[in-house]
Amino acid sequence: MTGQDLSGHVAVVTGARRGIGAAIAAVLLDHGATVVTGGRDGALLARQAEELGERGRVIPCAADLRTATGRTRLLEAAGRVDILVNNAGGFTRASTTRDTTPGDWQQQLEINLTIPFLLCQSVLPGMIERGWGRILNIGSVVASAPQLGNAIGYVAAKSGLVGFTRQLAAEVAGLGVTANVLNPGTVKTEHLDEYFAASDTVSEQTLSAAIPVGRLGRPDEIAAIVPYLVSDASGFLTGSVIDINGGAIHA
């Protein structure tokens, strides 16, 4: 597709060290963007940057996004943010409405909703001033379809991400800035393998059985659409939710 050359653009991808974020960082490099890779482990990010460096310019930045200092460090490493991919997310403990503690709820909302909002808020003025910007928030299929074995605060946060992205998109439509949500279905990542290892009831087989395509997704299958979503070619696409889930959507 034409108009997907990202040369000259600086992209920030949070949670880029592994999984879906790593796959997104790689395709953005392949399309010519300079990519700031966010994560918390500086040594692992540096090692990854060496490998990814063959594909383009990578700026690894170790920062805990729960702190204002960490968020500032990430944005300063970029210098200018043309493309923001809020991918960092997840939850540390599956929990139902009945057994979620205030701490669980807080953790689930913080990384999946509050931090994406704060980063959007920080990058918007520059994008508006330059008349061009692309925001892509990585949500989840759980915003449309309940999934047992999940975390209630995570579901609330990913659902909130949809509402706030649509509202933000409307606020800046016409100023050259788009904002969209990409909702992956279940994707085979290291994180998911850890989750399977810790669960007595949920396995790759049980989750695959609920997906019409009959298997989990791969990170590269989610990342493949991202260059389009953050390029010139997608200037008319804003306030949208893009589902990639092997047919597992119920909404």
Ligand X SMILES: NC(=O)c1ccc[n+]([C@@H]2O[C@H](COP(=O)([O-])OP(=O)(O)OC[C@H]3O[C@@H](n4cnc5c(N)ncnc54)[C@H](OP(=O)(O)O)[C@@H]3O)[C@@H](O)[C@H]2O)c1
Which range touches ligand X (CB under 6 A), out of 3-11, 15-23, 75-83, 232-240?
15-23
The torsion angles phi and psi of 232, rounded to 5 degrees, stand at -60, -35
90 sits near ligand X (criterion: CB under 6 A):
yes
H helix count then E strand count, the chain? 10, 7
62, 63, 105, 154: the active-site residue: 154
18 sits near ligand X (criterion: CB under 6 A):
yes
133 sits near ligand X (criterion: CB under 6 A):
no
Whole-angstrom Cα distance, residue 109 to residue 101?
12
Helix (H) or strand (E) holding 63: none
CB closer to ligand X, 58 vs 88: 88
Q: Identify whether the C-beta of residue 152 lies closer than 8 Å to the C-beta of residue 95.
A: yes
SS3 state of residue 143: helix
193 sits near ligand X (criterion: CB under 6 A):
no
Residue 102 exposed, middle or buried by CB count within 10 Å (0-12, 13-18, 19+) = exposed
Minimum CB separation from ligand X for residue 212, in Å? 16
Whole-angstrom Cα distance, residue 33 to residue 134?
13
Structure tokens at 242: 């893009």
Q: Identify whether the C-beta of residue 93 lies closer than 8 Å to the C-beta of residue 48.
A: no
CB closer to ligand X, 5 vs 204: 204
Q: Which of 27, 35, 81, 138 is in the footprint of ligand X by CB under 6 A?
A: 138
94 sits near ligand X (criterion: CB under 6 A):
no
Which range touches ligand X (CB under 6 A), out of 25-33, 92-100, 126-134, 183-191?
183-191
Whole-angstrom Cα distance, residue 139 to residue 161?
7
88 sits near ligand X (criterion: CB under 6 A):
yes
Which among 166, 133, 140 is positioned nearest to 12, based on CA atoms? 133
- The contact mask relative to ligand X for 212-251 (x = CB under 6 A, - = no) is ----------------------------------------
Convert 5-14 to b/e letters by CB count within 10 Å (16 or more is b).
Answer: ebeebbbbbb
Which range touches ligand X (CB under 6 A), out of 34-42, 48-56, 143-151, 162-170?
34-42
CB closer to ligand X, 34 vs 140: 140
150 sits near ligand X (criterion: CB under 6 A):
no
19 sits near ligand X (criterion: CB under 6 A):
yes
Which residues carry out catalysis? 154
Contact footprint for ligand X (CB under 6 A)? 14-15, 17-21, 38-41, 64-66, 87-90, 111, 138, 140-141, 184, 186-187, 189-192
